[in-house]
């Protein structure tokens, strides 16, 4: 674990779903905006279309972030590509599309950015989503690029991702709060980083994660005083909706 951790440089600031506060989440525009706001890394979510294409999407349904309706898992790529993923955020982003993971990787390479890919599977597609995401990484993210982090709340997804791409990514154990037995689970899943929500996180927990040899990323931190406190405690990075507000950490 330690040897890979030392090879991965995660900056102190990571944009959440791109730059969620100022651009449509999980879009190419969001990734570009995060870079403009000073984030060298972004976090984003990956799901599968009905016909097995990995796309950037957080929700199980299309309703909140696009002008479509219904389940992502029931919509083909052709269906989803017709949708507007920008207007619900702002008319300024009218016409923004839901991107393929491969398209996002191309923009990240163009901008010389790193990333945390969260596998966000629809129910019953945990293994399939992980396998598709890792296959896309293998095809579209060259080995000379920065090593990404692949994380998930789904242990089945993490196990499948680890099996399909042990040398292509560092793997992240993702939880709302630090549970009992977290270290054994993280080690079993081959994780080198831990990703925790900020609300219930304590200094003692930060110390425990760091002393165990893991990188620690904390989400979703949008206020500068809290971000500074977490980093002072020893967290390696904060994931934020508004990178511009936290530049200079």
User: Residue 100 in contact with residue 25, Cβ under 8 Å?
Assistant: no
User: Residue 67 in contact with residue 75, Cβ under 8 Å?
Assistant: no
Q: Active-site positions?
A: 16, 58
CB atoms within 10 A of CB 112: 10
Listed residue (112, 90, 86) closest to 28, CA to CA:
86
Residue 26, phi-psi category: left (phi > 0), alpha (psi -120 to 50), beta (remainder): left
Listed residue (10, 52, 58, 49) closest to 30, CA to CA:
58
CB atoms within 10 A of CB 163: 13
């Amino acid at each position: 674990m330690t040897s890979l951790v030392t090879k991965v440089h995660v900056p102190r600031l990571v944009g959440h779903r791109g730059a969620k506060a100022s651009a449509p989440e999980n879009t190419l525009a969001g990734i570009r905006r995060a870079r403009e706001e000073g984030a060298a890394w972004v976090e984003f979510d990956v799901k599968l279309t009905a016909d097995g294409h990995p796309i950037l999407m957080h929700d199980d349904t299309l309703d909140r972030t696009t002008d479509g309706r219904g389940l992502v898992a029931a919509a083909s790529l052709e269906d989803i590509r017709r949708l507007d993923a920008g207007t619900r955020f702002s008319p300024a982003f009218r016409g923004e599309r839901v991107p393929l993971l491969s398209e996002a990787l191309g923009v990240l390479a163009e901008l010389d950015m790193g990333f945390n890919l969260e596998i966000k599977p629809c129910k019953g597609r945990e293994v399939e989503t992980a396998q598709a995401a890792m296959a896309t990484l293998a095809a579209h993210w060259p080995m000379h690029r920065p090593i990404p982090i692949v994380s998930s709340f789904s242990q089945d997804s993490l196990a499948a991702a680890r099996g399909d791409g042990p040398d292509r990514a560092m793997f992240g154990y993702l939880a709302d709060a630090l549970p009992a037995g977290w270290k054994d689970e993280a080690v079993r899943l081959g994780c080198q980083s831990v990703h925790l929500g900020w609300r219930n996180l304590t200094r003692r927990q930060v110390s425990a994660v760091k002393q165990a040899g893991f990188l620690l990323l904390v989400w979703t931190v949008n206020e500068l005083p809290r971000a500074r406190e977490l980093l002072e405690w020893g967290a390696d990075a904060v994931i934020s909706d508004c990178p511009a507000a936290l530049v200079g950490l």
